Structure 1
Amino acid sequence: MKILLTYTSMTGRNEKIAKYLDQYLRDHGAEVTLQQIVDTDAFELEDYDAVIVETYTYNDGEVPDEAKDFYDDLADVDLEKTKFAVLGSSSKEHLHFGRAVDYFTMQLNSSNGEQVADSVKINQDPDEADFKRVDMLADNVLKSLK
């Protein structure tokens, strides 16, 4: 079970969640590559059994600048048979809460990826209930690979 977990984090929230998710997946037998989105090549996603993308939402509901190249490249990738999930931290105080999570979910679906877990949006710092939703996302990804 080779899983790519790629993330972007401005405040450290998503990095914290990514490290938690990385450990959870490893504890359940997955081989995980954890890296920042800026270092991720969309054309190498086919090398993995599953991809988990974690992003924050920038400004007025935008994909973060450091994730735009990866996001744009997804339009030119055929992810047939690649399972995926998307999550991210945002703020409910913003009109466009978690919009980048929605954009990545749509882009990965448009690239023929197979969404295996509902997207998870976390309001700012994750609490115990949020980590349970992250666990559920991870469990769905792992289940899809067995």
Structure 2
Amino acid sequence: MKILVTYISMSGRNEKIAKHLATYLENKAEVDLEQMVDADAYSIPEYDAVVVVTYTYGDGQVPDEAQDFYEDLLDVDLEKTKFAVLGSSSKTHIHYGRAVDYFTMQLNSANGDQVADSVKINEDPDEDDMKRVERLGDYVIKSIE
């Protein structure tokens, strides 16, 4: 089993979340952890699953550094590749976690197979949030076993 965990992080929150998830999954599968600016959307079909970790920028946009990856998903047939999306945002923002929603829609449009509800974390992740991240990881593992 091979899983790609790709993330974009400005404050370090999403990097922390992605690294925690990758470490959690490493006992169960081969995991590649890549910053989204270095990840290749066209390589996703080579994986059994992909997990995207993103923040929401400005007025609810996908971060600029994630735009190439996001747009490339339009040209990729994920061939029912399993996926999940999560990310940190701020509940004080009117567009709380909207980039998580955008990535979820984009991956579904690319013929992906969503295996867990998207997870939105308010600002810095706490212990309960990390348990939610691990549960998302469990869903990903169960979907590819």
Which range, TM-score by smaller chain?
over 0.9
Q: Which aligned runs of 4 or more in structure 1 are off by greater than 6 angstroms?
A: none
Q: Would you say how many aligned residue pairs link Structure 1 and Structure 2?
A: 145
- How many Å separate the matches in 1 of 2:34 and 2:40? 11
Partner letter of residue 75 of structure 1?
A: L
Q: Residue in 2 aligned with 1:130?
A: 129
Aligned residue in 1 for 2:40: 41
Identity, in percent, stands at: 72
Provide the C-alpha distance between the structure 2 equivalents of 1:99 and 1:81, rounded to a whole number of angstroms: 23
User: Which one-letter code corresponds to 2:10 in the other structure?
Assistant: M
Measure the CA separation in 2 of the matches of 1:50 and 1:126. 23
Q: Which residue of 1 aligns with 2:88?
A: 89
Per-residue deviation, 1:81: 2.3
Shift of 1:80: 1.3
* Offset, 1:99: 0.1
Q: Does 1:119 align with 2:118?
A: yes
TM (normalized to structure 2)? 0.98
Code of the residue aligned with 1:55 in structure 2: it is T
Q: Secondary structure in 1 aligned to 2:26? A: helix
Question: Partners in 2 of 1:20 and 1:34 — Cα distance?
Answer: 11
Stretches of structure 2 lacking an aligned partner (at least 5 in a row): none
TM-score, structure 1 as length reference: 0.98
- Consecutive unaligned residues of structure 1, counting only runs of 5 or more, are none
- Aligned partner of 1:50 in structure 2 is 49
> What does residue 9 of structure 2 align with?
9
Q: Deviations over 1:117-139 (max 9, x none)?
A: 11000000001111111011000
**Residues 84-103 of structure 1: per-residue CA shift (max 9 Å, x gap):** 00000000110000000000
2: CA distance between counterparts of 1:23 and 1:44? 21
CA distance in 2, matches of 1:31, 1:20: 15
Match for residue 24 of structure 1?
A: 24
Q: Tell me how far apart the structure 2 counterparts of residues 44 and 131 of structure 1 sit (CA, whole Å).
A: 28
Alpha-carbon distance in structure 1 between the residues aligned to 2:80 and 2:115: 11
Write the distance in 1 (CA, Å) between the matches of 2:128 and 2:59: 27
